Amino acid sequence: MKIHYECFACVANQCQRIVEMATEDIELRKKGIIEAARLMSSISENSIPAIFGSEVFLGVYRTVGNYDPFRKYKELSNKLAEEIVKDFEDVELKEAIKLAIIGNVVDFAVGYSPEELEDDVRAMMKEQLYIDESEELLKELSMAKRLLYLTDNCGEIYFDLLFLKKLRETFPHLEIYIAAKDGPIINDATVEDLKKVGFEEVGKVISTGTRIVGVPFGLVSKEFMEVFEKADVIIAKGQGNFETLSERKDRRVFYLLKAKCRPIARELNLPQGSLLCIRAR
């Protein structure tokens, strides 16, 4: 997916959030934003939002001297999600798919108590997916040998883990690989985050080989690409993975996400805010 006109402002707003989370020093915040503006001048019609944005964010990290400004935010997200998932451990596999999508919806660390968040999750569980191709996904998994699961944010990884546990129970033959970032980038999950949560119980945790959001071909590691190429089914969580994978039209890929922004909704030709389990077209 190439940039849409809204993407520039989105990256700029995220940069402001980064400097404010990274430091209390007003002058350093200003330097960070100036560096962001310099890096953003490289934008082109062929820029992919997830890659372009990540490169800008990492430049801001270097300028302000904070390489994980979202650390406390991620820790709180994980703590909240961990408490909530305990009440959903008995769900069926199809419900676990929906929970994994809902995990991508909720901003775990902003103004929620565990009780409020659980109420929201239960309410969303009653909603219909705008596109639901989960039966097709499960059919492909039943015949697959290798699954590659591309994670997205902290917090929601607890919902991912529940889903993968259900998959392991249903399809014990599956060889499961779970990929995360090589290091911190905004609130995305890292390899270290997955290992702390317990993903090694359900599969092999691997790094994409980069901190860039999504799957930036040409920047990922050789080891990751070997797993990617051998996978029979690829489950991709969130918008960043969609942005980097969508133009390949790889039929092995199933996206689990919410179309949170207008560009994603426009790309998929559906209403903004839609919940999706959709195969790549």
The per-residue DSSP string of 108-131 comes to TTSS--HHHHHHHHHHHHTSPPSE
At 139, which CATH number? 3.40.50.10880
Query: pLDDT tens digit string along 164-196?
Result: 999 999 999 999 999 999 999 999 999 999 999
Q: Which amino acid is at 77?
A: S
> Do 56 and 113 sit in the same domain of this protein?
no
Q: Which amino acid is at 234?
A: I
Mean pLDDT of 123-144: 96
Residue span of the structural domain in which 49 resides: 7-64
pTM score, whole prediction? 0.96
> Do 15 and 117 sit in the same domain of this protein?
no
Mean pLDDT of 251-266: 97
> Do 136 and 252 sit in the same domain of this protein?
yes
Q: Give the Cα separation of 258 and 276 in Å (integer).
A: 6
> Do 159 and 127 sit in the same domain of this protein?
yes
Identify the residue with better confidence: 106 or 54: 54
> Do 83 and 222 sit in the same domain of this protein?
yes
Q: How confident is the model at residue 146 (pLDDT cuts 50, 70, 90)?
A: very high
Structure tokens at 228: 């990617």
Q: How confident is the model at residue 108 (pLDDT cuts 50, 70, 90)?
A: confident
Mean pLDDT of 36-49: 97
Strands 175-180 and 146-150: parallel
Mean pLDDT of 40-59: 97
Average pLDDT over the chain, rounded to an integer: 96
> Do 264 and 246 sit in the same domain of this protein?
yes
> Do 49 and 80 sit in the same domain of this protein?
no
> Do 82 and 118 sit in the same domain of this protein?
yes
Which of 18, 34, 64 is the last residue before a domain boundary?
64
DSSP 8-state assignment for residue 219: T
Structural domain total, the chain: 2
Which of 20, 42, 64 is the last residue before a domain boundary?
64
Return the pLDDT at 50.
98
Query: pLDDT tens digit string along 191-212?
Result: 999 999 999 999 999 999 999 9
